[in-house]
Structure 1
Amino acid sequence: MQSPDSAREMLQIAADAAASKGGDDLLALDVSEPLPLVDVFLLVTGNSERNVAAIADEVEDRLIESGHKRVRREGRAEARWVLLDFGDLIVHVFHAEERVYYGLERLWKDCPVIPLDVAEPAAEG
């Protein structure tokens, strides 16, 4: 397993990438206590299938460019819930309806929230 600092670095890269593609309602959870092989979940909402796919692609591209290895990707074809597994960080990019339906926040409510410092994308004009 990588160091917690590495997981936090990956989290920041993923959060910035998600925000740059219009990801909403970003929530990072420290799941290291109940899940010994994972440190962090990042939950992100997209507003359409196209947006979910774009967010997931950007997160994946930036993490890979930063030298991190993707272990697994699921759900890209449907783009309703895309799971990106980078070992210590798992990114869940949801369509809004799926995020409410599956309610991962409720399932992991006892896990500490990790504060995120995400820059808002620059306004186009």
Structure 2
Amino acid sequence: MENLEIVKNLVDILEGLKAKNVEALDISQKSRDIKVLIIASFKTEDEVKLAASSFIEQAKALNLELVHKDGLTKGQWVVLDYGEILIEIFHEPLREKYNLEKLWKDGKNKLFEQVKVKAKKLAKSAKK
């Protein structure tokens, strides 16, 4: 499975869990180890904890190795390390406070836009 397809599947999982403002950033030029940073948020800490646990279970189907996880018990900021792909799930107020999108602004949202375009093309071809 190529990276764009994996990223699309991970974004789909988060959107299926009703995550807010899901962003997939290509940070390969800024980070030696991490190629993609996916950021999402939820309104409550309980939603963060439940969504993160559910995300981990659903991501197993993609045969990705979860290298490290942190923050599951507090529900404010959960980090899920899948090697070259890092997932950060925030409680909304904390996401606003740290504003990682601004920190990684050079990564822009190019990858997420590519994922959206690819998904639209697949949907159109499936209708034919």
Shorter-chain TM-score range = 0.7 to 0.9
Structure 1: gaps of 5 or more residues: 119-125
Map of 2:54 onto structure 1: 58
CA RMSD, Structure 1 to Structure 2 (Å): 1.8
> Does 1:112 pair with 2:103?
no
Question: How many pairs does the alignment contain?
Answer: 115
Map of 1:77 onto structure 2: 73
> Does 1:48 pair with 2:44?
yes
> Does 1:20 pair with 2:16?
yes
> Does 1:34 pair with 2:30?
yes
Higher Cα Rg, which structure:
2
Local SS of the residue matching 1:110: helix
Distance 1:77 1:107 in 2: 26
Local SS of the residue matching 2:28: coil
Aligned partner letter, 1:12: K
Structure 2: gaps of 5 or more residues: 120-128
Most deviating of 51-60 and 78-87: 51-60
Percent sequence identity over matched residues? 24
Map of 1:102 onto structure 2: 98
Q: TM-score, normalised by structure 2?
A: 0.82
Aligned partner letter, 1:92: E
State the Cα distance separating 1:112 from its structure 2 match. Answer: 3.0
Distance 2:8 2:20 in 1: 15
State the Cα distance separating 1:65 from its structure 2 match. Answer: 1.9
Q: TM-score, normalised by structure 1?
A: 0.84
Distance 1:54 1:12 in 2: 21
Structure 1 consecutive aligned stretches of length 4 or more whose deviation exceeds 4 Å:
none
Distance 2:95 2:105 in 1: 14
CA displacement, residues 11-49 of structure 1 (integer Å, 9 cap, x when unaligned): 122211111111010111001011121110001011111
> Does 1:9 pair with 2:5?
yes
